[in-house]
Amino acid sequence: MIPTDAPGSRARGVPRSRGGTRARADKDERMAAITMEQQPAADEHIAGLRNRIDEIDAALVALWKERAAISREVGATRVAAGGTRLVLSREREILERFSAELGADGTQLALLILRAGRGPL
């Protein structure tokens, strides 16, 4: 059995002291003070960013609705002229464009956009 006062030994379940606990506490206190000083500026910055996100979301929703309405009008006009409701080559073109720009997420987004305009298949 190794004596508990031997180098490198410690009682079971008792963490080894790394020293500097006061220095670490002082550093933690300084970091907390800095964080508290920066908090109002950070909160203001975050609020500004969230406002911009809300503006972008509103624009996306408006554009989504406008695009869907135009797409439905294209389909109705095509059917009225004796054509098909869908043109698969056009849908493939849109899917490829979104996929090239946004990857797999772009493909999923394009599928949602196409469905909004034409309805489910």
Predicted confidence at residue 121, as pLDDT, reads: 74
The model's pTM: 0.65
Output phi, psi for 40, to 5 deg.
-60, -40
* pLDDT tens per residue across all 121 residues of the chain: 444 555 554 555 545 555 567 888 888 777 777 677 778 889 999 999 999 999 999 999 999 999 999 999 999 999 999 999 899 999 999 999 999 999 999 999 999 999 999 887 7
Predicted confidence at residue 34, as pLDDT, reads: 67
Q: What is the C-alpha to C-alpha distance for residues 115 and 36, in angstroms, rounded to an integer?
A: 48
Predicted confidence at residue 7, as pLDDT, reads: 52
Predicted confidence at residue 25, as pLDDT, reads: 81
Predicted confidence at residue 72, as pLDDT, reads: 94
Three-class HEC string of the chain = CCCCCCCCCCCCCCCCCCCCHHHHHHHHHHHHHHHHHHHHHHHHHHHHHHHHHHHHHHHHHHHHHHHHHHHHHHHHHHHHCCCCCCCHHHHHHHHHHHHHHHCHHHHHHHHHHHHHHHCCC
Predicted confidence at residue 13, as pLDDT, reads: 53
Q: What is the C-alpha to C-alpha distance for residues 100 and 106, in angstroms, rounded to an integer?
A: 8
Predicted confidence at residue 27, as pLDDT, reads: 80
